[in-house]
Amino acid sequence: MEINSNVKSRLQFPAFYLFFIMYGAQTGVGIMGVPKYIFKEAKQDSWISILLAYILLITIVSVMLVILKQYENADIFGIQVDIFGKWIGKLFGTIYILYFFFTLLSILLNYIEVIKVYLFPTISSFSMGLLFIILIIYCVLGGIRTIVGLTFFFVILSSWILFPLYDPITRMDWDHFVPMFHATVPELLKGTKATTYSITGFELLFVIYPFIQNKEKIKLPLFLGLGYTIISILIVTVISIGYFSPLDLADIDWATLNLFKNVSYSFIERLDNLIIFEWMMVILPNLVLHMWGMTYGMKRLYKISQKTTLYTASIITLIFISFIKHDKDVTMLTDSIAQIGFWLLFVYPLILLPIVLVKKKMRRPRAEVKK
């Protein structure tokens, strides 16, 4: 296995699109219910926890960039094989692939649950899953540039989705935010950790990095995309705290969707139903990017064609969707993914960085001796 990826120029894309890729990869079902989980930990100071989450996010992504820049054009799969050797490196790479798969599965299951709760209680989970799998297969077969284009257009087309929240803003009770700075440091940190599931997706930078053309211009669109995600989470959380009573917010599973329930216009009575359908544009880039990351990882590690992995993973996903029917099971899966994601995405890069830097320093004397 080659450490650096030899990506053809026709498959590369400008760094500008990282803004849309990061937002598309991070924004999904998590933002629908995240206000409840942050509020449970940090109460009215939840906004501080979200800002701390952004600082953590910027720190981890900066660490990832430092790791990637130690190589000519490598991804996480090649880096781990280089650092830990063939077998352990492939084992760690497989963990990333499995994480992509179960993240995709949790997003699909949560969205199907929303469809059942709000729109069609009797609809088959298999039917909804099959619809999404067909869309995912069609997009992934188009290749990375097609996926980037899809993400770009869907992020643009769904950017209006938060504007109708001006109505709940006018009904907010600002007394819900006092007393300010009341949460303790451990509570704020717990609130930050509760935010992490809704901001995962940035780990795909480890995979798509070799496909970026002008890597010297990567930072601005990358950090702006991450910032856009955090701003979206901050907006829905602040509105939720001001709009709902503390007791209600702690008990509402999909707080963001409930904000749209009382918003209506003369030409549309139930805006929340339209928002749920529109949310398909929000989660589809997320699903497609994770599926592509999984298929590309299998190709890099085990030389298995992306089509083979795509069809196999799609069938396995449909099987899981057919058997996981209870909301408790979906919640348990989501919580497990959130816990694993915290260690894999926010802790592991901090451990990997010094190992990469030490290995690079050890190589310099050897290279000088050879010369």
Q: What pLDDT, on a 0 to 100 scale, did the predictor assign at position 211?
A: 95
Q: What are the structural domain ranges in the chain? A: 9-370
| Six token digits for residue 189 | 């940190």
Does residue 47 carry a pLDDT above 80?
yes
- CA atoms of 25 and 345, how far apart (whole Å): 14
Query: Taking the CA of residue 104 as centre, how many other CA atoms within 13 Å lie in the half-sphere pointing to its CB?
Result: 29
Enumerate the β-bridge partners of residue 4. Answer: 74
Enumerate the β-bridge partners of residue 212. Answer: 13
Q: Is the dihedral of CA 212, 216, 221, 226 positive or negative?
A: positive
- CA atoms of 171 and 112, how far apart (whole Å): 30
Q: How confident is the model at residue 366 (pLDDT cuts 50, 70, 90)?
A: low
Cβ neighbours around 186 below 10 Å, total: 9
Summarize the confidence of residues 111-127 as an average pLDDT: 89
Does residue 67 carry a pLDDT above 80?
yes
Closest CA to 252 of 241, 262, 263: 241
Does residue 64 carry a pLDDT above 60?
yes
Q: What pLDDT, on a 0 to 100 scale, did the predictor assign at position 132?
A: 94
- CA atoms of 321 and 110, how far apart (whole Å): 10
**DSSP-derived secondary structure letter, 345:** I
Contacts of 12 (CB under 8 A, 6+ apart): 211, 212, 213
- CA atoms of 46 and 25, how far apart (whole Å): 23
Across the chain, mean pLDDT equals 91
- pLDDT tens-digit series, residues 180-235: 888 999 999 999 999 988 899 999 999 999 999 999 999 999 999 999 999 999 99
Higher pLDDT, 6 or 297: 297
Q: How confident is the model at residue 275 (pLDDT cuts 50, 70, 90)?
A: confident
Find the range with the poorest average confidence among 70-74, 105-109, 270-274, 295-299. Answer: 270-274
Closest CA to 224 of 64, 12, 26: 26
- pLDDT tens-digit series, residues 306-356: 999 999 999 999 999 998 878 888 889 989 999 999 999 999 999 999 999
Question: What is the third-level CATH fold of 9-370?
Answer: Amino acid/polyamine transporter I (1.20.1740)
- pLDDT > 90 fraction of the chain, expressed in percent and rounded: 67
Does residue 77 carry a pLDDT above 90?
yes
Q: How far apart are the first and last CA of the chain?
A: 26
- pLDDT tens-digit series, residues 25-45: 998 888 888 999 999 999 999
Query: Taking the CA of residue 234 as centre, how many other CA atoms within 13 Å lie in the half-sphere pointing to its CB?
Result: 14
To the question of pTM greater than 0.75 for the whole model, the response is yes
Please list the helix, strand and coil fractions of the chain in percent, rounded to the nearest 5, in that order. Answer: 80, 0, 20
Q: What pLDDT, on a 0 to 100 scale, did the predictor assign at position 367?
A: 52
